[in-house]
Amino acid sequence: MKYLMLHTLDESAHPDITEIATPPHLEAELDAWIKEMLARGIVLDGARLRPVADATSVRVVDGEAVVTDGPFAETKEQIAGYDVIDCPDLDSAVAVAAAHPTTQIGSIEVRAFDDGMPDPEVPEHPADGKLRYLMLVCADMRRSVAERGGAEAVADAEPEDDGEDDIDRWIADAGARRLYGWPLGSPDRAVTVRRVDGRTVTTDGPFAETKEQVAGYDLLECDDLDDALEVASGHPVAGGGVIELRPLWR
Amino acid sequence: MSSSVDAVALSFERSWGRLVAGLIAWCGDWDLAEECAQEAFAAAVTAWERDGVPAAPVAWLTTVARNRARDRMRRRTNEAAKVALAHADASDEVAPVDDEDIPDERLRLIFTCCHPALPMPARVALTLRTLCGLTPAEIARAFLVTEPAMEKRLVRARAKIAHAGIPYRVPPPELWGERVEGVLAVLYLMFNEGYAASSGDSLLRVDVSREAIRLTRSLVELLPGEPEVRALLALMLLTDARRPARVRDGHVVPLEEQDRSLWDLDRITEGARLLDADPPWGPYAVQARIALCHDVATRPEDTDWPAIAELYTLLPATPVVELNRAVAVSQVLGPKAALELVLPLADDLSGYYLHAATLADLYARLGRTSEAADALATAIEQAPTGAERRLLRARRESLLHG
């Protein structure tokens, strides 16, 4: 099964994090984690994100794209990076996350992808002159769950049938600007992992209680922010939810 | 002061934005462009004194700034500098001789500074820095923040432009309307900040509204096909025309008590000329027409209030617009009719001092003195500047004891 690890931390508590990709005292440990997980075929893709000050959000209101500065939710901890991992079950995914150094300075939200996700194939470097953006698709998933008849009904339901065509059309429009992407399972099934006094602590649910939750993500490779905004604002969820664009650390 | 120093000062005012915009287009590095533009002007002070003012000052400044930039890029060894140098050399076969050889890139610069992905305060600061040439210290004073805080705001904004990939370009047709609107919103905010600050306590502050007018004037030339740009300039001029009468002895003077002989007739004439005679009018054009109604009234009682009340109906009906419409209605139909419009706005405008102040005025005119006094007390609490508080306090005093 494939899982998404969302690294989150409080940037204000780690001011150096906005200047450098990895705190020096964790660098060796991070390298070791990446090396091991790549060798074991567990980590399939991953990247650090630029600080939240470089985030841009877009939602579509009355048919018009409304672009705003900043992330989709003002939370104390913010998403700082991601990894896509392939693990037999949730327990092993949590163990892989717990071994990652982010758990020492922040936390990692582990989220299962919906079934059927192909292995992402991402070239190591972006094409000449292109920029990569993580596109977080955020929606009030609990509300849409309630509207469709409770959590039970949705736990094994297909994604909204009427949304399928829209998504296909969006993927076609995005073309080569979209490297890959996949919807995530319910945030209620998220597990958040952190280390406290050397012990691994796992808690139920996403890293922050926000109105909207991360419902899926896509990795984009675009000419510039306007190009990425055009792709993002065309996403069907931009209508009722919000899309956050985060440039990757180069 | 020698004439060459004057010439440098004049060039700075006229050409700073154009120079910086051209340099950014040339090397892609905002910091470097600004630094070297600054140095080029510094070099001009001695060189122009010695050799006389060159026939093509922008070309002269550009050549000097580019040479400095090239030197620095060569001394730097990192990847970014190499990219910038390659970028620069590729577009730099011929040194500019005439000012006309330097394309005017200010439009690209202003659309980038006003990009919606930047926080609003950063858009304003960046525009004042890169297009108007204000120093971070001057901008910090204008917005009452510390200089390090303003420096940080500018650094963050430039970092976001670089890292988030905000393009340095004039937007394509599909984004044109909203982005032009965004630029105008930044300019109007800048003007209003400057205008509101021009009430005492601010002798040392740079005149931000003057910069806003100057930049909007340039934008009228750069975007001749946009009636709302002209309308915004008109609105600024027609508002600014009343500035000489707006403050007396550190007190804000309300419109109806202003000495109208102090109003700037040239600005009124110019503003009126910029306006299209026929609708459809955009929001800035409507607001400019309202300002014009006030400006052309020789005495307060000559004001064409029915026209003003009518014009307000052409604006999107936000609570603030409704409040202003109610003021006009009170002049046409009396305070009772206006009160019916103002009271329902209480929830939406609960923290806005002009709501309480308007309410107070209507109550007073209806002889409901104690309610008027209560509303004025609220307004005093909510007023944003000392000058406004003083005015409201005086009004309350005269209501209770006058």
Split at pLDDT 50, 70, 90, the class of A73 is confident
Say if CB B164 and CB A56 are below 8 A apart: yes
As a whole number of angstroms, the distance between CA B358 and CA B375 comes to 9
3-class DSSP string for B43-75:
HHHHHHHHHCCCCCHHHHHHHHHHHHHHHHHHH
**Cβ separation A225–B178 shorter than 8 A:** no
Q: For residue B252, what pLDDT is reported?
A: 79
Q: Is the ipTM of this complex over 0.90?
A: no
Q: What is the mean pLDDT of chain A?
A: 88
Residue B198: its pLDDT value, please? 57
Res A2: pLDDT: 96
pLDDT for position B101: 76
Query: What's A2-247's CATH class?
Result: alpha beta
pLDDT at B103: 78
Q: Which residues of B are less than 8 Å from A245 in CB distance?
A: 164
pLDDT digits (tens, 9 = 90+) for B78-112: 776 777 777 777 666 556 778 877 778 999 999 99
User: What pLDDT sits at residue A146?
Assistant: 58
B219-253 per-position pLDDT tens digit: 999 999 899 999 999 999 999 999 999 888 877 78
pLDDT bracket for residue B144 (50, 70, 90):
confident
**Residue-by-residue DSSP string for B260-315:** GGGS-HHHHHHHHHHS-SSS---HHHHHHHHHHHHHT-SSGGG--HHHHHHHHTTS
pLDDT(B74) > 90: no
Q: Give the other-Cβ count within 10 Å of B388's Cβ.
A: 20
Q: Please tell me which of the candidates A64, A68, A225 has its beta carbon nearest to residue B164.
A: A225
Q: If you average pLDDT over residues B169-190, what whole number do you get? A: 94
- Cβ of B167 within 8 Å of Cβ of A69? The answer is no
pLDDT at B199 over 60: no
Is the pLDDT at A153 greater than 60? The verdict is: no
What pLDDT is attached to residue B143?
84
Question: Residue B61 is which amino acid?
Answer: L
- CA distance linking residue A23 with residue A17, whole number of Å: 7
Q: Is A228 on the interface with B (CB under 8 A)?
A: yes
Read off the pLDDT band of A231 (50, 70, 90). Answer: very high
A125 pLDDT more than 60: yes
Higher pLDDT, B250 or A147: B250
52-71 of A, contacting B, C-beta below 8 A: 53-56, 64-65, 67-70
Residue of A nearest to B171 (CA): A226
pLDDT of residue B288: 97
Cβ–Cβ gap B167/A225 under 8 Å: yes
Enter the DSSP assignment of B249.
T
Write down the mean pLDDT value for chain B: 90
For B316-344, how does the pLDDT look when each residue is reduced to its tens digit (9 = 90+)?
Answer: 999 999 999 999 999 999 999 999 999 99
Closest-CA distance, B163 to chain A, in angstroms, reads 7
Residues of B near A (Cβ–Cβ under 8 Å) read 115-120, 122, 156, 159-160, 163-167, 171, 175, 178
Q: Classify residue B225 as exposed, middle or buried by CB count within 10 Å of its CB (0-12, 13-18, 19+).
A: exposed
**Cβ pair A68:B116 closer than 8 A:** yes
Q: Inter-chain contact A69–B116, Cβ cutoff 8 Å?
A: yes
Chain B contact set for A68 (CB, 8 A): 116-117
Rounded to a whole number of angstroms, the distance from the CA of A235 to the nearest CA of chain B is 17
Burial state string for A8-17 with b = 16 or more CB within 10 A and e = fewer than 16: bbebeeeeeb
A60 vs A236: CA distance, rounded Å: 9
Q: What is the pLDDT of residue B99?
A: 81
DSSP assignment, residue B355?
H
* Spatial distance between the Cα atoms of A54 and A41, rounded to a whole number of angstroms: 32
Mean of pLDDT values over A123-128? 93
User: What pLDDT is attached to residue A151?
Assistant: 43
Q: Which residues contact B125 (CB under 8 A, 6 or more apart)?
A: B139, B143, B150, B153, B154, B157
The 10s digit of each residue's pLDDT in B17-42 is 999 999 999 988 899 999 999 999 99
Contact B156, A51 (CB under 8 A): no
Show residues of chain B in contact with A135, CB under 8 Å. Answer: none
**pLDDT score for B90:** 67
Q: Enumerate the β-bridge partners of residue A199.
A: A196
Backbone angles phi and psi of A202, in degrees to 5: -115, 140
pLDDT at A34 over 70: yes
SS3 for B133-168 is CCCHHHHHHHCCCCHHHHHHHHHHHHHHHHHCCCCC
- Going by the DSSP 8-state scheme, the letter that residue B379 receives in this structure is H
Three-state helix/strand/coil letters over A33-57: HHHHHHHCCCEEEEEEECCHHHCEE
3-state secondary structure chain A: CEEEEEEEECHHHCHHHHCCCCCHHHHHHHHHHHHHHHHCCCEEEEEEECCHHHCEEEEEECCEEEEEECCCCCCCCEEEEEEEEECCCHHHHHHHHHCCCHHHHCEEEEEEECCCCCCCCCCCCCCCCCEEEEEEEEECHHHHHHHCCHHHHHHCCCCCHHHHHHHHHHHHHHHHHEEEEEEECCHHHCEEEEEECCEEEEEECCCCCCCCEEEEEEEEEECCHHHHHHHHHCCHHHCCCEEEEEEECC
Q: Residue B56: pLDDT above 80?
A: yes
Crossing angle of helices B57-75 and B79-90, in 10° steps, is: 140
Q: For residue B382, what are the CA distances in angstroms to B246, B346, B352?
A: 20, 14, 7
Q: CA A89 to CA A87: how far, in whole Å? A: 6
B191-196, Cβ contacts within 8 angstroms, sequence gap of 24 or more: B191/B216, B191/B236, B191/B239, B191/B240, B193/B124, B193/B142, B193/B143, B194/B142, B195/B239, B195/B240, B195/B243, B196/B384, B196/B385
| Percent of chain B topping pLDDT 70 | 95
pLDDT above 90 as % of chain B: 75
| Contact between residue B118 and residue B127 where contact means Cβ atoms under 8 Å apart | no
Any idea where the domains of chain A sit in the sequence? Answer: 2-247
- pLDDT > 50? residue B203: no
Q: B163 and A56 in contact by Cβ < 8 A? A: no
Torsion of CA B227, B228, B233, B235, to 10 degrees: 120
- Which burial class, exposed, middle or buried, applies to A23 when counting CB atoms under 10 A from its CB (0-12, 13-18, 19+)? middle
Interface contact flag, A54 B178, Cβ < 8 Å:
no
Backbone φ and ψ of A204, nearest 5°? -70, 145
